[in-house]
Amino acid sequence: MTADHADHIDLADLADHADHADHADHADLAGRFRVLWDSIAPVGRDPGSGGYLRYAFTEPELALRDWFRAQAASRGMPVTADGNGNLFARWGHPAAGDAVLTGSHFDSVPHGGAYDGPLGIVSAFLAVDELRAAGAVPARPLVVAAFAEEEGARFGVPCLGSRLLTGALDPGRAAGLRDADGVSLAEALGDRPAGARPDLLGGFSCFVELHVEQGRALVERDAPVAVASAIWPHGRWRFDFLGEGNHAGTTLMADRRDPMLTYAFTVLAANKEARLRGAHATVGRVRVEPNATNAIPSKVTGWLDARAAEPDTLTGLVDAVRAKATERAGRDGTEVTLTEESATPLVAFDGGLGGRLAALLDAPVLPTGAGHDAGVLAGHLPTAMLFVRNPTGVSHSPAEAATDADCAAGVAALARVLEKLTCT
């Protein structure tokens, strides 16, 4: 099967296929899910917040990579590393092409939820078990991926591993990215990243990523699993506000050049401009220098995360926020510069593999404002995503949730999809 085949796969006969993978009793599957899930649940969990600190290439994330290798080994799946921090565990002949790729990421945002990322990897291994238990004989290899630094929480660029793999990010630029402690990506990886790997990418015919839903659409639809239609265009912009550090007690209010004021105004402007456009704008990270209670800051850096359904809306939003910040800086006697740190274009899954999987699973189809490695790979391969219901609708927070029964439904759906893609 070629990539083109995957994109045009005829799923019309699927209903009669009484998929082998769907035989499993869901209660048993939920039990198997719980056992495997419990094996990673403590890793990187902060007892205070109940959230996860699983930054790329730090100890908890490295422990999860060991877990990945062990799970792969126990299933007889050799693991390949691509030199960009991504891991691939393979079921099938090493030399065979047209492999079907699934998986997700282990890394988390600060104090993130348990499911964002790991659910896709745990589900992938369980889907392999389901296919094997049903006696499926794949005609094409099935590969489970663990992508590196999807959240960009350590080095600032989201989907870092998949961007490097696909050539969307220059390995020289990536090598020099630094974390909050000044450690470079090259140091964390132990080497300069390899960059584009067309040799590896060319061996994949399609990618299906299973992910926890990051909203409440499935709760409203009373369905456990959905298929993604699109990912909103989105990006990250760094605002550097420069002023004059000075004494909090002795500097007259009229004499101040306080970048905190320009920053605060910009945060409010971003919120207002996003609301006016039906878009999303967030400033969730800020750095203040020197960060003293009794000193006017000399510099404030704030990171804007902006997303919209349409690219022009997003561009208009960022331009408007920049204009408001610049105008306010003029009044505050400060300076502001804006740097784009990452940008992801609109990704439309429907009409391709995603649309066909929605027909196969008879599942609702949802757009999302969240970014994923699937969005990066979609520029190179037929790509689809499955979402599993999240009863709280909350994500990037310890409150993120999914029931074992819904996770089992997700595994069953993934197994069904993978069986179709690998076995026919």
Instruction: List the one residue from 371, 384, 388, 422 that touches ligand GLV (CB under 6 A).
Output: 371
Q: Which does 371 bind (CB under 5 to 8 A by kind): ligand GLV, Mn ion, none?
A: ligand GLV
Instruction: Provide, rounded to whole angstroms, the least separation between the CB of residue 274 and ligand GLV.
Output: 15
Cβ closest to ligand GLV, residue 151 vs residue 258? 151
Cβ closest to Mn ion, residue 98 vs residue 116? 116
Cβ closest to ligand GLV, residue 103 vs residue 371? 371
Instruction: Provide, rounded to whole angstroms, the least separation between the CB of residue 300 and Mn ion.
Output: 26
Q: 3-class SS at 338? A: strand
Instruction: Provide, rounded to whole angstroms, the least separation between the CB of residue 129 and ligand GLV.
Output: 27
List Cβ neighbours of 423 (8 Å cut-off, separation of 6 or more). Answer: 131, 136, 137, 138, 139
Distance CA 263, CA 340 (A): 17
Token pair for 260:
């905190």
Could you say which residues in the range 330-369 bind ligand GLV, by CB under 6 A?
Answer: none
DSSP calls for 339-406: EEEEEE--EE-TTTHHHHHHHHHT--EEEESS--HHHHHTTTS-EEEEEE--TT---SSTT----HHH
| Per CB under 6 A, 158 contacts ligand GLV | yes
Q: Which does 382 bind (CB under 5 to 8 A by kind): Mn ion, ligand GLV, none?
A: none
Q: Which does 82 bind (CB under 5 to 8 A by kind): Mn ion, ligand GLV, none?
A: none
Q: Which does 158 bind (CB under 5 to 8 A by kind): Mn ion, ligand GLV, none?
A: ligand GLV
Helix (H) or strand (E) holding 289: strand 280-289
Q: Which does 171 bind (CB under 5 to 8 A by kind): Mn ion, ligand GLV, none?
A: none
Contact between 245 and 297 under an 8 Å Cβ cutoff? The reply is: yes
Helix (H) or strand (E) holding 144: strand 142-147
Cβ closest to ligand GLV, residue 151 vs residue 209? 151
Q: Which does 203 bind (CB under 5 to 8 A by kind): Mn ion, ligand GLV, none?
A: none
CA proximity to 373, closest of 80, 41, 145: 145
Q: Which does 117 bind (CB under 5 to 8 A by kind): ligand GLV, Mn ion, none?
A: Mn ion
Cβ closest to ligand GLV, residue 131 vs residue 402? 402
Instruction: List the one residue from 174, 370, 407, 408 that touches ligand GLV (CB under 6 A).
Output: 370
Distance CA 113, CA 106 (A): 11
Residue 93 backbone phi and psi in degrees, to 5 = -65, 135
Within 10 Å of residue 416's Cβ, how many Cβ atoms?
22
State the distance between the two ends of the chain, measured CA to CA, in whole angstroms. 9
Cβ closest to ligand GLV, residue 141 vs residue 371? 371
Cβ closest to Mn ion, residue 9 vs residue 230? 230
Instruction: List the one residue from 82, 151, 209, 332 that touches ligand GLV (CB under 6 A).
Output: 151
Distance CA 301, CA 293 (A): 17
Distance CA 398, CA 50 (A): 6
| Per CB under 5 A, 51 contacts Mn ion | no
Instruction: Provide, rounded to whole angstroms, the least separation between the CB of residue 404 and ligand GLV.
Output: 23
Q: Cβ-closest residue to Mn ion?
A: 116
Q: What is the bridge-based pairing of β-strands 204-212 and 383-388?
A: parallel
Instruction: Provide, rounded to whole angstroms, the least separation between the CB of residue 309 and ligand GLV.
Output: 14
Query: DSSP label at 127?
Result: H
Per-residue contact flags (x/-) with ligand GLV for residues 187 to 206, judged by CB under 6 A: --------------------
Cβ closest to ligand GLV, residue 197 vs residue 234? 234
Residue 268 backbone phi and psi in degrees, to 5 = -65, -40
Could you say which residues in the range 107-136 bind Mn ion, by CB under 5 A?
Answer: 116-117
Phi-psi region of 179 (alpha: psi -120 to 50; beta: other; left: phi over 0): beta
| Per CB under 5 A, 141 contacts Mn ion | no
Cβ closest to Mn ion, residue 106 vs residue 241? 106
Q: Is 393 exposed, middle or buried (0-12, 13-18, 19+ CB in 10 A)?
A: middle
Instruction: Provide, rounded to whole angstroms, the least separation between the CB of residue 371 and ligand GLV.
Output: 4
Distance CA 4, CA 110 (A): 39
Residues contributing to the site for ligand GLV (CB under 6 A): 151, 158, 370-371
Residues contributing to the site for Mn ion (CB under 5 A): 116-117
